[in-house]
Amino acid sequence: MKIVLVHPAGSNWVPGKKDITSTANRMAPLGLLSIAAYLDGQGHKVFVHDCLGPNAPEDTDSNVRAILAHDPDLVGVSATTSGFFDGYDIASRIKGIRPQVSIAFGGVHISAMGAVLLDRFKDIDFLCMGEGEITMAELAAGQNPKLIGGLIWKNGSSSVTNPPRAQIADLDTLPFPSYEKLRGFPKGYNLPLFSYIMTPGATMITSRGCLYQCSYCDRSVFKHGFRYNSGEYVYEHMRYLRTDFKVRHINIYDDLFTTNRERISDLCDRLISRPLAMQFNCAVRVGHVDDQLLRMLKAAGFLQLSLGIETGDPGLMKIHKPGVNIEKIIDTVKRIQANGLRAKGLFMMGLPGETSDSIRKTSDFVLSLGLDDMNMSKFTPFPGAPIWPTISEKGSFDNDWRKMNCLNFVFVPKGVGSREELDQLYNEHVKRFYSGGGWRKRFRSRLWEHRWSLLYMLRHLPTFLAAKRNFEPDKCEKG
């Protein structure tokens, strides 16, 4: 069977502004690439069409023509909440031209919403819930839909929800993602600026699931367990990227990369005894980072560790990030840096229960930590998150899927006066951090290390200047 897997562009920036997100950070669609590799192994002819890829068409009709040029029997679309409508626009136009093409949707938004999407959007034939590799393979093999676990399908005018599919127990049985199916990989897929020293870069995910229950996190696809690739598998995956694609830096996007100590020790031993001339970034959980682990990561080639901190307000932390506290955060950041690694803090603004005072407290806390970098996202309630059922009770919520991308304030907590106030506080914080003396001093000391990021910025200077203007007050607001 001929199959095209589609990564829709989505609405990834501020309405009315030019979308610059793919210029700042273009990440390979790893879930689709894993499904593509699995389908390849089943004998199908598979193509990946990334609407956010380098030189991808900007309009829907051109993307549809590019997809149909492969003459597909089945089109699979992986959709986030903000990307769903763009994906559906593509699906509808494909159906209008070639109604015989089957359309399957999967991804986090689909797994969170379920059958209601099949009832509301008539041009979708199938919904794949949870992990997609085996479900898509059985669908492509022509199995009777009622026998495929994890599938929602149409039976006449009604939808049928099959029992859930069992999770893939051994992730080492999966092939490496089909990076080669991406046009322009790896040089066209850029990591966040100043997060690397060597280029080109790539991304990996080496585990699935999470053991924790943060209020804002959607676990609809991989659920709450924790499954992982072995140290040997991860090392061979890294070596594959180094050998076949000349990759020099890898961002590992696991939620709990270091949770299983045995596999991390095994991986680090392999990287130390058989170096790949690469560097790595990963995330670690606050309070679960000891000096021995940090020394091991440093020796293995790790450069930067990210910490999910979210807020500097202790009361909000208890609600939204249980198990983490201010003292643990301060200690973890200090020890990361003392062991020669960079520390990046990940925060959210506009959480339920937030006030203008708590936002300013978080901003003060961020600066006090002496972080090497930080990311402040705009809190977005997603349908599969624990906070979702009660979100409308905690503030005003604009349930516009296109804006739900952590780049727009679609939710305003009761303790903040308006969306405009949130935007102002956000812009003030971002400018405050990057104009602060501590960050600028660290940045200047690493100018040579940052040379590739600086060159990239120069090549795309008009785009980055346009982005900078988003953090300046509009002239009309200034009167």
Assess whether 124 and 220 both reside in one domain: no
Is residue 181 situated within a structural domain?
A: no
User: Tens digits of per-residue pLDDT, 426-445?
Assistant: 999 999 999 999 899 999 99
Pick the closest to residue 419 from 354, 346, 362, 345 (CA basis): 354
What tokens were used for 42?
């089943």
Residue 225's pLDDT band (cuts 50, 70, 90): confident
Q: Is residue 185 part of a domain?
A: no
55-69 mean pLDDT? 94
Among 107, 140, 161, residue at a domain's last position: 161
Same domain, 154 and 242: no
Rounded to an integer, the average pLDDT of 85-107 is 97
The mean of the pLDDT values for the chain is 93
Q: What digits encode the pLDDT tens for the residues 289-326?
A: 999 999 999 999 999 999 999 999 999 999 999 889 99
Instruction: Examine residue 255 and state whether it is found in any structural domain, yes or no.
Output: yes
- Output the furthest CA–CA distance in the chain (Å, rounded): 66
Distance, in Å, from the CA atom of 125 to the CA atom of 367, rounded to the nearest integer, reads: 50
Kindly state whether residues 407 and 313 are assigned to the same domain: yes
Phi, psi torsion values for 368, nearest 5 degrees: -70, -20
Phi-psi group of 194: left, alpha or beta (phi > 0 → left; psi -120 to 50 → alpha; rest → beta): left
Q: For position 461, what pLDDT does the model report?
A: 87
Q: State residue 14's pLDDT score.
A: 63
Phi, psi at 86, each rounded to 5°? -65, -40
| pTM for this entry | 0.94
Distance CA 53, CA 182 (A): 8
Q: How confident is the model at residue 345 (pLDDT cuts 50, 70, 90)?
A: very high
- Dihedral sign from CA coordinates of 257, 260, 263, 268: positive
Distances in Å between the alpha carbon of 157 and those of 90, 146, 154, 185?
A: 23, 15, 7, 42
Phi-psi region of 55 (alpha: psi -120 to 50; beta: other; left: phi over 0): left
Q: Which domain holds residue 38?
A: 2-161
Here the CATH number for the domain that contains residue 22 is: 3.40.50.280
Range in 33-37, 51-55, 337-341 the model is least confident about: 51-55
Q: At which of 122, 141, 161 does a domain end?
A: 161
Q: Are residues 117 and 221 in the same domain?
A: no
Separation CA 278–CA 237 (nearest Å)? 13
pLDDT score of 479 more than 50: no
Please indicate, yes or no, if residue 315 is contained in any of the structural domains: yes
Q: Specify the amino acid at residue 215.
A: S
Cβ contact 10:405 at 8 Å: yes
Domain assignment of residue 88, yes or no: yes
> Which residues are CB-neighbours of 172 under 8 A, at least 6 positions away?
229, 230, 233
pLDDT for 220 = 75
For residue 288, what pLDDT is reported? 85
60-68 and 84-97 helices cross at what angle (nearest 10)?
A: 60
Q: Is residue 399 part of a domain?
A: yes
State the total domains in the chain.
2
Whether 168 is in a domain gets the answer: no
C-beta atoms surrounding 295 within 10 Å: 14
- Do residues 149 and 66 both lie within one domain? yes
**Calpha distance 409→417 (Å, rounded):** 13
Q: Is residue 403 domain-shared with residue 266, that is, in the same domain? A: yes
- pLDDT value at position 24? 79
Tell whether 257 and 378 lie within a shared domain.
Answer: yes
Phi, then psi, of 74 in degrees rounded to 5: -140, 135
Of 201-205, 240-244, 268-272, 466-470, the range with the lowest mean pLDDT is: 466-470
Q: Are residues 230 and 306 in the same domain?
A: yes
CATH number for 229: 3.20.20.70
Interval 368-413: pLDDT, tens: 999 999 999 999 999 989 999 999 999 999 999 999 999 999 999 9
Paired strand residues for 202: 250
The verdict on residue 183 lying in a domain is no
Side-chain-side CA neighbours of 88 within 13 Å: the count stands at 21
Mean of the pLDDT values across residues 44-68? 95
- pLDDT on residue 477: 38
Q: Assign 472 a pLDDT band (cuts: 50, 70, 90).
A: low
Distance between CA 426 and CA 378 in Å, rounded? 8
Residues 157 and 195 in one domain: no
Query: 213 pLDDT band (50/70/90 cuts)?
Result: confident
Residue 408 CA to its chain's centroid (Å): 16
* Structure confidence at residue 23 (pLDDT): 78
The confidence band for 448, taking pLDDT boundaries of 50, 70 and 90, is very high
- What's the pLDDT band for 478 if we cut at 50, 70, 90? very low
148, 201: one domain:
no
Say if residue 247 is in the same domain as residue 291: yes
Identify the pLDDT of residue 475.
Answer: 40
Type of residue found at 254: D
Q: How far apart are CA 140 and CA 133, in angstroms?
A: 11
Residue 7 and residue 90 share a domain = yes
